[in-house]
Amino acid sequence: MEMEQQRIKQRIEDYSRFFITLIVLSVYFYLGMIITNYLEPSDKGILLVWLLLLSLISSGVFLYLVIKWKKQLSDLLQD
């Protein structure tokens, strides 16, 4: 029981870090998209949009998992 709680805590910590990293990466993609289109418009700007969306969706998945595991951990601690 204690090992399972520790494993869930480690997952929460790791996935929270992944979430924050992907949010920061999304900000960089957004700024890169804005700066690139402002300085020199090109046809390759759509690549940054797709990367931005992919990183935001991935961060949403990690956030969902963190919330799920926090709920699971609180249920384990109540029992």
pLDDT for position 9: 94
Degrees (nearest 5) of the Cα angle 40, 42, 45? 105
Query: Tens of pLDDT along 21-77?
Result: 999 999 999 998 888 878 888 777 788 899 999 999 999 999 999 999 999 999 988
pTM confidence score: 0.84
Task: Give DSSP secondary structure letters for 3-33.
Answer: HHHHHHHHHHHHHHHHHHHHHHHHHHHHHHH
